[in-house]
Amino acid sequence: MEHLSRFQPRDIRSLPVLETDGWHLKQYAILSEGKSFDPAVAAAAGAEALKRLPPPGGLEDPIRAHGIGFQIVHFAQVAVVAPVFYWQWGSVLSKIDQMRAPLHTPTEFGNGAEEVIGCLWEMDIVSFETDTWKSTILSGEGTPAQRLAAYLKARIS
């Protein structure tokens, strides 16, 4: 029953924020046991995510995606999965279809299981990001630009 193995924490790394084409995409990496971080894989995952995301609006756009989100590049046991989440309508967290690359071609991302939101290790990051969104963007002090800067600066440790 390997699928019910005892939970073990995994190494989580904060990567630089991708800022391009109106998007601010925070990136994280998760390394399962025995896996190494590869910056080329993270770069390929980020590039693919930016192709798939909807056109961004601004933080104050009430109709479109705000152009703010995060991606988790998970160097998992069986593949590299890279879920992408983004904010819209102030308080709604949306996602694109799961991105997945085989271990033998880890920079070639296709679609994974559409119904999957993420695994437990990824949900720790999702929880951190939703708490950070609430405390900076929706409850923080300052102008929208100052609150955005605070959100982008906050990283899971």
Q: Which amino acid, one-letter code, is at 103?
A: L
Per residue in 26-56, pLDDT tens? 999 999 999 999 999 999 999 999 999 999 9
For 117-157, write each residue's pLDDT tens digit: 888 999 999 999 999 999 999 999 999 999 999 999 999 97
Look up tokens 């271990």; give the residue. Answer: 103
Q: Any idea how long the chain is?
A: 157
- How buried is residue 29: exposed, middle or buried, by Cβ count under 10 Å (0-12/13-18/19+)? buried
Residue 120: closest CA among 19, 33, 36, 7: 7
The answer to whether 49 and 27 have CB atoms below 8 angstroms apart is no
